[in-house]
Structure 1
């Protein structure tokens, strides 16, 4: 039995979960925090550069959003091999994921350079904003292959339960870039383009550190197309799942915008808080991926089920705690985001759904991590697509037709989460996900 999980009982020590979850949270939070710094720096250049950054940033963010399989899928496959005591093969999964990151990243870079102008014009609706976005995006896109290399690096390191080094690598890149950004924007007088260069520098540093760690493992660096095809198969399911999320949240934003200016402002405030708390809960899910994958790789379905139950309880407790906290600050926190009375009047129509959903989200995200760790991506893909088609999307568009506003939108999100909860709990209680072995 591998020593990557505790063999005396079904549970693992809470400190081991925290040892994986806390650094993972730091990695998840690093990019949003850097974006805040970048936004603050560019914001002082004026409205036009800020709008250009907003549009360009949305486009670049879709790269990382849609290609997270390089992180999550690699963790799942690596953790199984690590649990089976086959570390060299586990790291080799990271090598193949890195090759895949380079290949996909070059495609994204080429396509992005060709499509930057048309996409920016569609998103901005203004030639001036589109021009600013393109000037930023054409530079920032050179970081796309590096972003994907960093994802692959996070994936294999989490799989071998090394969560601290990825945090150091990501913080090193983003930290240096955060210092460099105002120097390039103001001192060097590069303006918006300085922000893009700083962004690429961050990716160069982080990706370089991950590549150095991979080389230090002294495993073969040769590409193996068969392994990459297997990784792409898992990636296909995760990309489809991600597209379902995007369809739901883009639709929600579109309907909120067509409801009223106050409604879209309130929706943005609550949605950003939802996204932030999702990162907190997702850190537990990442720990679940590593521990469950290792347990199944070690041949212990009993251990995997024990860890799954333990992680689910942690998710529920965290969700309940967050719900109580945000219920308590409901009269205060929205004022930190806006002083507009119309927006503040709309916030409660979404806020109490957001609060009530936290315990559900805690369980759903925890079990997402469990099933991803088990390599059960096909089930998660189907569950997400069905939940979106039956729950979120119909109610969102009905809200537009019947004028239900934010109440209708967030009712749709609630139904979406309840359907996902039902699906993942049913799957968890079955034995369909507990496939043992180094490779699923």
Structure 2
């Protein structure tokens, strides 16, 4: 079956554009907190930075709640089992509650030792602990947002998560301003007010998303009670995706370590190299949001077409989405290359950092078309429920990338060379394992379950 060109492209755009806007809205929670807390003082901002790293790690590792749920719900939808799709979606939501509750209890209990591990001063540590203990109460709402967003994406709805993301961010800014500075009769709570405002906004946003899923479940007569076997199945499906995520984060952490190691082993300036690396990584992450939006569309469309038992459509969609990935990568790469000489001005007044940033950004720009293929095929295989292969592939890629980047660091290689390894070895190895899998038939399991 050959899909009409226009219809295919419109469907990809219908899912990808709102997904991209929602993705870039997510980091604004901490960005808004930083902008407001920064006016309290440098120690407050430093404390927020530590707490933010901890929170982002917890939530980042649980992204499988969105990915796994999207794939499972989309399959059931494609198979014509809307009620079963929503029942499976509720299992994912209950799993988010279980994980969130456990992470909150453990996190609050371990706040002191975790903050102390960063080795910061007493004042900074005090602010970090204050923020983190309150912000951890928002972990369950954040995970519920992931799970509910996964359900809605599986139902081919990426607009509702976008609207909620905009609402949540706007509410977060208002509450932070009110609670941090306490205008009028309100007490000024400082950094604690920032955490409380964020938790409140996250809770309201989670409630709106969950309500949308619950409303659909009631309409279709799907069970909303926690089902132990269903929740256990959702957890089991999530384990391979968790391993995949861990391998990705490990590779990025090793890259940062190699930057430091290379500067110390060679003749580089550690501060300049780390500052340059941070700016480049920030821009790389932003570009990844655009490519990940196409990957999210790939998850939803692949799951639906395989659920419907249509391999031909799945293959046609995959080819077209890969073309979209390459096209987006080329456009993003050309744009980044053209702006590489001026982007540094937006981030730093340090001319040494600006000069060091240009060649690194050119490396990032050259790697964007490959990144487009990698992101799309990753989304296709997630949508197909091929998590076990992605987990093993992630471990294999890490085994290839780790010695390469550590060798560059140990021999005092340049910052540009470290990024060449990331863009070439790491992304190249990911491309090889993903293209190899996509060209086979083993991942194209049809029916309501993978």
Give the TM interval when normalised to the shorter protein. Answer: over 0.9
Query: Following the alignment from structure 1 to structure 2, what is the Cα–Cα distance between the partners of residues 390 and 241?
Result: 15
How far 1:181 moved relative to its partner? 0.9
Q: Distance in 1 between the 2:138 and 2:303 partners? A: 30
1:376 aligned partner: 386
Shift of 1:293: 0.4
Corresponding position: 1:242 with 2:245: yes
Q: Please give the residue correspondences for 1:354-373 in structure 2 after superposition, counting only pairs within 5 Å.
A: 354-373=364-383
In structure 1, what is the equivalent of residue 294 of structure 2? Answer: 284
What is the match of residue 204 of structure 2?
205
Task: Note the C-alpha offset of 1:349.
Answer: 4.2
Q: Do residues 340 (structure 1) and 340 (structure 2) align?
A: no
Partner of 1:420: 430
Tell me the residue number matched to 1:327: 337
Q: 1:375-420 CA deviation, whole Å, 9 max, x = no partner?
A: 11111111122112112x2122212211003123212212010011
Could you tell me how far apart the structure 2 residues matched to 1:185 and 1:79 are? 42
- Alignment match, 2:267: none
Q: Report the counterpart of residue 28 of structure 1 in structure 2.
A: 23
Alignment match of 1:220 (pick from 215, 220, 223): 223
Aligned to 1:232: 235
Question: How far is the alpha carbon of 1:175 from its aligned partner?
Answer: 1.4
Is residue 404 of structure 2 the alignment partner of residue 395 of structure 1?
A: yes
Equivalent residues of 1:79, 1:297 under 8 A apart: yes
| 1:59 and 2:68 are equivalent in the alignment | no
Note the aligned Cα RMSD (angstroms): 1.4
Contact 1:116–1:134 (Cα < 8 Å) also in 2: yes
- Does the residue aligned with 1:37 lie in a helix, a strand or coil? helix
5 Å-filtered alignment, 1:288-299, equals 288-299=298-309
Distance in 2, Cα, partners of 1:131 & 1:283: 38
In structure 2, the residue corresponding to 1:13 is in which secondary structure? helix
Contact 1:173–1:206 (8 Å) recurs in 2: yes
- Contact 1:96-1:223 within 8 A present in 2 as well: yes
Provide the rounded CA distance (Å) in 1 between the counterparts of 2:248 and 2:277.
Answer: 16
Deviation at 1:373, TM superposition (A): 0.5
Report the Cα distance in structure 2 between the residues aligned to 1:71 and 1:321, rounded to whole angstroms. Answer: 28
Match of 2:319 in 1: 309
User: 1:19 maps to what in 2?
Assistant: 14
| Deviant stretches of 4+, over 3 Å | none
For residues 132 and 255 of structure 1, what CA distance do their matches in structure 2 show? 30
1:55, 1:124 within 8 Å by CA — same for their partners in 2? no
Q: Distance in 2 between matches of 1:233 and 1:84?
A: 22
Taking structure 1 as the reference length, the TM-score comes to: 0.96
SS in 1 for 2:27: helix
Report the Cα distance in structure 1 between the residues aligned to 2:8 and 2:311, rounded to whole angstroms: 18
* 2: CA distance, partners of 1:294 / 1:69: 18
Q: Is the 8 A contact 1:142 1:200 kept in 2?
A: yes
Deviation at 1:124, TM superposition (A): 4.3
The worse-fitting range, judged by mean Cα deviation, of 308-317 and 160-169 is 160-169
Q: Which residue in 2 is equivalent to 1:9?
A: 3
Q: Which residue of 1 aligns with 2:273?
A: 263
TM-score, scaled to structure 2: 0.93
Q: Hey, what's the Cα distance between the residues in 2 that align with 1:78 and 1:108? A: 25
Shift of 1:228: 1.8
**Contact persistence 2:344–2:353 (CA under 8 A):** no
Contact 1:55-1:120 within 8 A present in 2 as well: yes
2:160 to 154, 165, 170: 165
Note if 1:190 corresponds to 2:199: no
Structure 2 matches for 1:95-114, cutoff 5 A?
95-114=90-109
1:127 shift after superposition: 2.7
Distance 1:201 1:346, change over 3 A: same
The Cα offsets for residues 196-229 of structure 1, whole Å up to 9 and x where unpaired, read as 0111012111111122122212121112222222
**What's the secondary structure of 2:117's corresponding residue?**
helix
**Conservation of the 8 A alpha-carbon contact between 1:330 and 1:351:** yes
Q: 1:433 aligns with which of 435, 440, 443?
A: 443
State the Cα deviation string for residues 345-373 of structure 1 (Å, max 9, x = none). 32134222211110000010011111110
**How far, CA to CA, are the matches of 2:431 and 2:258 in structure 1?**
25
1:406 to 402, 415, 422: 415
Deviation at 1:74, TM superposition (A): 0.2
- 1:330-358 Cα distance to aligned partner (Å, 9 max, x none): 11111211121221232134222211110
CA shift for structure 1 position 87: 0.6
Matched pairs, number: 433
What CA deviation, in whole Å up to 9, does each residue of 1:143-164 have, x standing for no partner?
A: 0111111111000110011111
Separation of aligned partners in 1, 2:313 and 2:36: 49
The equivalent of 2:266 in structure 1 is none
